[in-house]
Amino acid sequence: MGNVHDHAHDHGHDHGHGAEEEEGAPGTTLADRTYIPAVMRGIKLTLARFLQPKATVQYPEESVYDRGSDDRAIGTQNPRLRGEHILVKDEQGREKCVACLLCMAACPALCIYIEPEAAPADWGPDRERRPKVFELDMLRCIYCGYCEEACPCDAIRLTPKLYQPTTSRLERVYDKQRLLENNQDAQVPQRPRK
Amino acid sequence: MSPELTAAPLAAAPLARAPFGDAAVSLEPGLHEQEMVINFGPQHPAMHGTLRLVMTLDGEKCRHIDPQMGYLHTGFEKLGEHRTWNQFIVVTDRMNYMSAMANNVGFALAVEELLGIEVPPRAQAIRVIMCELSRIGDHILGVGLQGMDLGAFTAMLWAFIEREKVYDVFELASGGRLTTSYTRVGGLAFDLPEDCPARIRAFIERLEPVLQEMEGMLSRNRIFLERTQGVGTFSRQQAIDWGLSGPVARASGLDRDLRRDRPYSGYEQYDFEVPVRTEGDVYARYLVRLAEVRQSLRIVEQALDRLPSGPVNAIGAKATLPDKDEVYSRMESLIQHFMLEMPGHGIKAPKGAIYHATETPNGELGWYIVSDGTGVPYRVRVRPPSLYQFQSIKPMAEGRLVADVVAIMSSLGVIAGELDR
Ligand code: SF4
Ligand code: SF4
């Protein structure tokens, strides 16, 4: 290190970084110049870290959520985590979506495509419309949650479920059926507002 | 190929001056000297993001530097003309991926000033907490990366652990680790979860020992000192001339911090200092960053202590969505919800232009917004701190060794996403 001493490096130590600590300015004391205390300090710190629990996890077998220690923050799956969408069904098994197209308008990534149709007659008088086509391009989606925020019927929600790998791009364009089926394993609480 | 083309002009012309300072170097017959042009970046392990420096080298020395930008040009500013006010917030996340929260807050504040909305105190306090946490995350990683670029790889790994913890808090609050999109015009997307304040407290309590470890590794380490002290020195006047802001300017003695000088989000209520150093070199920037982390910890503690209760959205302002429960049950709320979400409706800002700046971790982030009275901005122009820092590498590093260029680069904290927009 010390053998590179052309004028680009001859700053010396006259810059006076102030009296940092009791021992004098960094780089001026004998301890700093011999470098041995710094090495010892480094080894000590590294060894101390060596004995601490690992910060990493073996993803995907493990995730930080499994760990449960309070060192990494979460412990259980964070219900607010914005992952894949679901379309919610009501108690009678009808999809809640009324094809109002608000989510389509609110989406900053323009990844929702909806075609409305009249609801079947046996759905009763309280339901007039439903989506005929509801496509969500998960590759375009930026998981911002604006669609959920825009929906006046609590029909679309983001689940804490993260991305599922597929082998083709087309599989990542979810249609209505897929979005409704996503529902089954994750009935998530709605995100709180205000 | 013709002979004129094969012989590079530089190779043919003998150098008029001695290559290494004043020392006369005699070369063996048959050897000749020439300057060499190399690309540092956009794909280089020591380069932060897709930045490119075209350097003309004379041996190990850097004669000219030509900083080039645009490799991460995403058209964010143009996108602003096609997205509604709230939709643009997701874009601000992606602009500065080291401190997305601070960018969210900056843009929301600018639009609120245009609309004349006052955000409730709880939202302001939460915004302050999130901004300071992102400052902690940014600076601690910045310091770690500075260590890594100078050969202390360990410091970077430790910094990443702490940064992940900051992201854990973000995820808990907003649902996103990096793409937080937490603010909305007039408030926040959601309130903090109940256990979040305790979690933040636990994090900041455990941070101090880590800071001491980092200091122990780097602050008095001779290699680190020799690589950083007196390197990339910028005077106060130069910092002003080149438009620097943030920790880089404060390390050059420019005592300017918008949180104190032009307070927003209630920063005037908090008791904190603005660390300033006068040396203006890479080491001073490192010290300023570490000191700022400690000040941010103080601010977060104070904000948590006096976290007000109440709503997190300016309810009456007609710019924020009504509560979901009310949307399901009350007609007026449903109508307001539709008015804000329907295409062609939404938040209508008055005609006018506004410049609003906030102090993000790497400097003054300014938003110049022009509104023509429709639901989308007419123009969104960003003043990214990174741009000014990136261009100042030329006067800082010209005439120095290549190794110094790396040290200077990492001390500037340039974020490519924000630089190229
Ligand atoms: S999460 Fe965002 S990007 Fe994805 S579908 Fe919803 S609104 Fe669109
Ligand atoms: S999901 Fe909600 S917002 Fe989207 S069309 Fe259906 S009801 Fe409307």
Domain segments of chain A: what residues?
29-77, 85-186
Q: Which of A8, A16, A152 sits opposite B327 (nearest CB)?
A: A152
Residue A19, pLDDT score: 37
Window from A59-68, A132-141, B346-355 with minimum mean pLDDT? A59-68
What is the C-alpha to C-alpha distance for residues B147 and B169, in angstroms, rounded to an integer?
A: 25
| Interface contact B312, partner A, CB < 8 A | yes
Q: Which residues, 6 or more positions from A75, have their beta carbon under 8 angstroms from its beta carbon?
A: A65, A67, A68, A69
What is the C-alpha to C-alpha distance for residues B297 and B290, in angstroms, rounded to an integer?
A: 11
ipTM: 0.77
> Tokens standing for B112?
């609120």
Collapsed DSSP state (helix, strand, coil) of residue B57: strand
What is the C-alpha to C-alpha distance for residues A26 and B4, in angstroms, rounded to an integer?
A: 55
Label residue A187 by pLDDT band (50, 70, 90): low
What is the C-alpha to C-alpha distance for residues B99 and B77, in angstroms, rounded to an integer?
A: 18
* Contact check, Cβ <8 Å, B324/A190: yes
Q: What is the pLDDT of residues A94-146, one digit of tens each?
A: 888 888 888 888 899 989 999 988 888 888 777 888 888 888 998 889 988 88
CA end-to-end span of chain A, whole Å?
Answer: 58
CATH class assigned to A85-186: alpha beta
Out of A87, A89, A96, A98, mutate this one to test ligand 2's pocket (max ligand atoms within 8 Å of CB): namely A98
Residue B396 φ/ψ, nearest 5 degrees: -70, -40
What is the C-alpha to C-alpha distance for residues B406 and B232, in angstroms, rounded to an integer?
A: 10
Out of A129, A153, A183, mutate this one to test ligand 2's pocket (max ligand atoms within 8 Å of CB): namely A153
Window from B163-172, B315-324, B379-388 with minimum mean pLDDT? B315-324
Residue that the structure tokens 């804000």 belong to: B340
| Interface contact B34, partner A, CB < 8 A | no
Residue A61, pLDDT score: 74
Cβ-Cβ contacts under 8 Å, A17 against chain B: 229, 277, 279, 283-284, 287
CA end-to-end span of chain B, whole Å?
Answer: 41
Residue B6, pLDDT score: 44
CA A106 to chain B, closest CA, distance in angstroms equals 6
Provide the edge-to-edge strand list for the sheet that holds A112-118: A112-118, A129-137, A173-174
Cis peptide leading into A60, omega within 30 of 0?
Answer: yes
Residue B167's closest chain A neighbor by CA? Answer: A73
Q: Does residue B323 register a pLDDT over 80? A: no
What is the C-alpha to C-alpha distance for residues A50 and A53, in angstroms, rounded to an integer?
A: 8
- Residue B369 belongs to what H/E stretch? strand B363-371
Instruction: Find out whether the beta carbon of A146 lies less than 6 Å from any atom of ligand 1.
Output: yes
Q: Does residue B106 register a pLDDT over 80? A: yes
Amino acid (1-letter code) at residue A83: G
Instruction: Find out whether the beta carbon of A102 lies less than 6 Å from any atom of ligand 2.
Output: yes
Q: What is the pLDDT of residues B5-22, one digit of tens each?
A: 444 444 444 444 444 444
Span from the CA of A114 to the centroid of ligand 2 (angstroms) = 9
Q: Does domain B76-314+353-419 have CATH number 1.10.645.10?
A: yes
